[in-house]
Amino acid sequence: MKTKLNIEFIRENNLILLECISGSKAYNLDVPNSDTDIKGVFYLPKDIFFGFHYLPQISNETNDIVFYEIGRFLELLSKNNPNILELLETPKDKVLIKHPIMKKIKTKDFISKKCKDTFGGYAFTQVRKARGLNKKIVNPMPRLKKLVTDFCYILNKQGSIPLSQWLKEEGKSQENIGLVKIPHFKDTYGLYYDDSKQLGYNGVTKKKTATSVLLSSIPKNEKPLTHLQFNQDGYIKYCKDYKAYWDWVDQRNESRYENNIQHGKNYDSKNMMHTFRLLDMAEEILRDEKINVKRENRDELLKIRNGEWQYDELIKMANSKMSLVEQAYITSKLPDEPNYKMIEDLLIKIRKELYT
């Protein structure tokens, strides 16, 4: 019978090599409502490791408890993954379990100039997230979704008017319209109209979920009443933006969102705090060749979290810090990449010891 691999299993079978409190409580950036995040390292029972059911990672449903299999852990260390390097350098008072074999894994054997891209690159991602949230908060989208017909326009003298306006002024219905595509004119159609409803015109659209206009068969002697242009590119972009916005609304962390609304700066202040934390760490690693997980500038970073800075000011400050990271990269004495052969040999040595 297949063994159910989960957090309870690795705890009950003493397979945990490292378990630490991580996240804001490890960074010294926790506030009264901060969650307790747990990260760690485990190894698989020998039979499972050599069988079909190798599992690189185990987590609970909310992903606030995550354990990495020792091989996956070393692989991510070799990539200079920020979360994993931080886990290896967790402050001692936040370490819950540490197997003696973990002493073989030393940070100095892993850190390299790759940290500019992993820590700094992750920080850039946080800036983009903050910008994206800024855009969403400042430009909320109505829940009622626009239709294809809202992106249709009628040729009118030397310009155009919305289809809805034309229908109202002319006393006509979109259901009685027949459209024929005009060759060589992008998204432009001849518009025919059938007051009798006997010609079988399809209308501009029939379904609210439509993504394009409908075409109709037009009798040979009919003449177009006017011309219609459908801004299809604009409608496709609107649909993507609409989905992105309402997916964000449905999935957002409400307490964080309310905090962002309360401070009135229109950005995700927690993301911005971590942007500056990561940029500081990137510079420190490249300059000092060590990782400081616990942040000594707690007050400064919490001011960012509390929304005490204007968004544009933070972006300027972040750009300045990015320049410092670039300079530290140029002068850093760290290797360009870790010694992968040494890391592989270390993994083999650890596995042999664990399975002996």
- The answer to whether 57 and 69 are in contact (CB under 8 A) is yes
Question: Does residue 18 sit within a domain?
Answer: yes
Average pLDDT, the chain: 90
Band of residue 135 on the pLDDT scale cut at 50, 70, 90: low
Question: Does residue 240 sit within a domain?
Answer: no
Band of residue 261 on the pLDDT scale cut at 50, 70, 90: very low
Residues 278 and 342 in one domain: no
Band of residue 175 on the pLDDT scale cut at 50, 70, 90: very high
- The answer to whether 147 and 208 are in contact (CB under 8 A) is yes
- The answer to whether 36 and 21 are in contact (CB under 8 A) is yes
pLDDT of 126 over the 80 cut: no
What is the predicted pLDDT for the residue at 1?
Answer: 44
Residue 244, classified by CB atoms within 10 Å of its CB into exposed (0-12), middle (13-18) or buried (19+), is middle
> Could you report the per-residue pLDDT of 18-54, keeping only the tens digit for each?
999 999 999 999 999 889 999 999 999 998 898 888 8
Look at residues 201, 232, 263 and tell me which one is the last residue of a structural domain.
232
Residue 229: φ, ψ to 5°: -120, 130
Residues 271 and 197 in one domain: no
Question: Does residue 77 sit within a domain?
Answer: yes
- Structural domain range at position 270: 111-140+253-334
DSSP 184: T
pTM of the model: 0.66
- 18/41 Cα distance (integer angstroms): 5
What is the predicted pLDDT for the residue at 294?
Answer: 97
> Could you report the per-residue pLDDT of 136-168, keeping only the tens digit for each?
666 678 889 999 999 999 999 889 999 999 999
Residues 101 and 4 in one domain: yes
Closest C-alpha to 354, from 107, 71, 92, 109: 71
Residues 97 and 135 in one domain: no
Contacts of 220 (CB under 8 A, 6+ apart): none
- The answer to whether 154 and 228 are in contact (CB under 8 A) is yes
pLDDT of 8 over the 90 cut: yes
Closest C-alpha to 272, from 131, 167, 141, 155: 131
Residues 346 and 280 in one domain: no
What percentage of residues in the chain have a pLDDT greater than 90? Answer: 71
- Whole-number Cα distances in Å, 148 to 173, 206, 241, 269: 15, 10, 15, 37
- How many other CB atoms are found less than 10 A from the CB of residue 89? 15
Q: Which residue has the higher pLDDT, 184 or 261?
A: 184
Residues 125 and 170 in one domain: no
Tokens of 311: 């968004």
Residue 305: φ, ψ to 5°: -60, -35
Look at residues 197, 232, 267 and tell me which one is the last residue of a structural domain.
232
Residues 91 and 12 in one domain: yes
Question: Does residue 176 sit within a domain?
Answer: yes
Residues 63 and 156 in one domain: no
pLDDT of 271 over the 60 cut: yes
Residues 8 and 134 in one domain: no
Question: Does residue 212 sit within a domain?
Answer: yes
Residues 219 and 126 in one domain: no
Mean pLDDT on 186-215: 94
- The answer to whether 303 and 309 are in contact (CB under 8 A) is yes
Mean pLDDT on 110-134: 79
- Total domains, the chain: 3
Residues 202 and 348 in one domain: no
Question: Does residue 238 sit within a domain?
Answer: no
Residues 72 and 199 in one domain: no
